[in-house]
């Protein structure tokens, strides 16, 4: 089979490009430590979410020094928490999100960042985000979920440590009462 010399060169360059791409992605996953959303979040029964120990009353939970878990339920057309109450996290913390859906497939996107996942009924998306500085982010659903899809939004607030601590304590007390 006759292949033109230029075409051979092109073929070689194309293969280099492809292998290069795979290399950068592998580096991103292994070297830079960008985890993929995968099956480590486990599963949950979407019909009994309200009785679930975590998703029954979703929100933030301290798990260690500067370590937090945030549980979020997405449903038509709200984030719980996120929409009526913002999701509050402290600065300089490492936060693991657990996101699931109560009815149809939703999206969970922190606008302008790469914190982005699908929320699928029955599945829990688990991913970890580091928040360095205080600030406010928008939160939106990026998967069409019904006629009110465009109103499904919320807020994520990264608070100063002291402010967060007093808010968190207050939350804990309210829950105990």
Residues 126-165 that bind other proteins (CB under 8 A): 126, 136-151, 153-155
CB of 94 to other proteins, least distance (A): 17
Among 125, 159, 164, 168, binds other proteins (CB under 8 A): 125
Question: Which two structure tokens, joined as six digits, stand for 62?
Answer: 């301290």
CB of 130 to other proteins, least distance (A): 14
* CA angle, 22 then 25 then 28, to 5°: 150
Interaction residues for other proteins, span 30-59 (CB under 8 A):
32, 34-39, 41-43, 45-48
- Applying CB under 8 A, the span of 28-36, 52-60, 66-74, 160-168 interacting with other proteins comes to 28-36
Site size toward other proteins (CB under 8 A) is 73
Residue 72 near other proteins by CB under 8 A? no
CB of 70 to other proteins, least distance (A): 15
- Which residue matches tokens 């301290």? 62
Q: How many CB atoms lie within 10 A of CB 116?
A: 14
Rounded Cα distance between 99 and 74, Å, is 7
Residue 104 near other proteins by CB under 8 A? yes
Among 4, 132, 162, 173, binds other proteins (CB under 8 A): 4
Residue 10 near other proteins by CB under 8 A? yes
**Distant-in-sequence, close-in-space partners of 140: CB < 8 Å, separation ≥ 6:** 107, 109, 111, 152, 153, 154
Residue 22 near other proteins by CB under 8 A? yes
Among 5, 6, 132, 176, binds other proteins (CB under 8 A): 6
Residue 80 near other proteins by CB under 8 A? no
- In a 13 Å sphere around the CA of 129, the CA atoms on its Cβ side amount to 21
Among 92, 96, 105, 134, binds other proteins (CB under 8 A): 105
How would DSSP label each residue in 154-174? EEEEEE-HHHHHHHHHHHHHH
């Amino acid at each position: 089979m006759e292949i033109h010399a230029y075409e051979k060169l092109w073929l070689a360059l194309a293969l280099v490009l492809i292998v290069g791409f795979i290399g950068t992605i592998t580096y991103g996953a292994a070297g830079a430590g960008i985890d993929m959303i995968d099956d480590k979040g486990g599963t949950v029964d979407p019909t009994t979410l309200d009785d679930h120990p975590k998703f029954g009353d979703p929100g933030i939970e301290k798990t260690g020094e500067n370590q937090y878990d945030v549980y979020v339920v997405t449903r038509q057309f709200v984030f719980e928490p996120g929409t009526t109450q913002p999701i509050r996290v402290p600065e300089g913390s490492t936060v693991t999100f657990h996101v699931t859906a109560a009815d149809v497939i939703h999206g969970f996107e922190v606008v302008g960042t790469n914190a982005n996942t699908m929320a699928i009924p029955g599945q829990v998306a688990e991913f970890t985000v580091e928040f360095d500085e205080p600030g406010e982010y928008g939160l939106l659903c990026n998967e069409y979920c019904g006629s009110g899809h465009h109103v499904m939004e919320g807020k994520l607030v990264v608070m100063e440590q002291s402010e967060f601590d007093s808010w968190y304590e207050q939350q804990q007390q309210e829950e105990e009462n």
